[in-house]
Structure 1
């Protein structure tokens, strides 16, 4: 019995009621559609975004490869402040030399750990054009980042859908206020005569 009463309270906008107006029914459908769009559209947007991001990271892992290189010049911090190990800034650009897959020797600037001296062996990452680039994300890091991007896309989509629904409801409220004003303009003078 109690559950039936709760369902009736939730579905009050669809029940027949002599005081219910057409705008009330429209608003009920707007609320339903907005929540469906948020649930279904947000989920699809999140899944598609996560899948696209994961495919992009997989393509990066496929295109980039690691090679052993030799540091040509000793690395030093770019600013006057010392760099602590383990910080995001413990890598610096240095000139390195490596042998390409065709056997030719190349020189370029790549990110290496801070503190390597000239002649040190390091690992650098190259893109498909044999140019130095950054290390691609690992499969687990890519999955985590793709999940974060998918979640952010779903939340953004849901926020836009919710804002559009609220804007539509605001317009309906404005229309109701105008309608109430017109009705009061017709009925108000009759009430004033009775009260005076």
Structure 2
């Protein structure tokens, strides 16, 4: 004789494994895991969408700033005029530099330690001929956007994971307490009928 027909296929067994169904031994707490998995999956999709939106917003803002800086800033060649006294840094030192017709503009900037008097150094200036940092690049804007998106993704993932773990711990605690309570009622009868 054959073993009889298999009730359901692989998909049916998988569905029963994920969703408990009408099993007479099923408890209310058994529904928590599939429902939590469904909620967690939906939340993960929302988190992915939010991290994408955040990174795109940061990228737009940073690219606008990069474009504005490239319009407003220009590079000039300045001549080192004198060292600033008392500055003995190992890598960079402060010096006075001048640029423009007959060094009409003067400022104190940091240059590599080996820079000598009368050496030429490139500097960036704004429309008012004040020294400013070099304009940021598109790759720096992209990196900032990626960092923002990753921060949203990792932070939200940690919060969701923590919430799921806390909820699961609570449900397992409740499940064990219910089993203990039921065993207190059934245990003495079971021991009496089954030596």
Per-residue deviation at 1:20?
A: 2.2
**Partners of 1:42 and 1:155 within 8 A in 2:** no
Unpaired runs of 5+ residues, structure 2, are 1-8
- Give the direction of change, closer, same or farther, for the CA distance of 1:116–1:192 in structure 2 (3 Å limit): same
Taking the aligned partners of 1:127 and 1:38, their CA distance within structure 2 comes to: 45
- Give the direction of change, closer, same or farther, for the CA distance of 1:125–1:54 in structure 2 (3 Å limit): farther
**Partners of 2:54 and 2:149 within 8 A in 1:** yes
Taking the aligned partners of 2:139 and 2:186, their CA distance within structure 1 comes to: 69
| Aligned pairs for 1:1-196 within 5 A | 5-6=10-11, 8-10=13-15, 12-14=17-19, 15-56=21-62, 58-59=64-65, 62-63=68-69, 65-68=73-76, 69-73=78-82, 78-79=89-90, 92-98=92-98, 105-110=105-110, 112-126=111-125, 132-196=131-195
Taking the aligned partners of 2:79 and 2:105, their CA distance within structure 1 comes to: 11
- Give the direction of change, closer, same or farther, for the CA distance of 1:120–1:169 in structure 2 (3 Å limit): same
Taking the aligned partners of 2:73 and 2:63, their CA distance within structure 1 comes to: 13
**In the comparison of the two structures, how many residue pairs are matched?**
179
**1:45-83 superposed Cα distances (whole Å, 9 cap, x missing partner):** 24313532551364255246243233334699723xxx6
**Partners of 1:42 and 1:157 within 8 A in 2:** no
- Give the direction of change, closer, same or farther, for the CA distance of 1:132–1:7 in structure 2 (3 Å limit): farther
RMSD, matched Cα: 3.4
**Partners of 1:45 and 1:150 within 8 A in 2:** yes
TM-score (norm 2): 0.70
RCO (CA 8 Å, sep 6+): is it higher in 1 or 2?
1
SS at match of 2:17: coil
Taking the aligned partners of 2:10 and 2:187, their CA distance within structure 1 comes to: 37
Unpaired runs of 5+ residues, structure 1, are 84-91
SS at match of 1:72: strand
TM-score (norm 1): 0.70
**Partners of 2:79 and 2:97 within 8 A in 1:** yes
Per-residue deviation at 1:105?
A: 2.3
**Partners of 1:70 and 1:119 within 8 A in 2:** yes
Larger radius of gyration: 2
Per-residue deviation at 1:13?
A: 3.5
SS at match of 1:122: strand
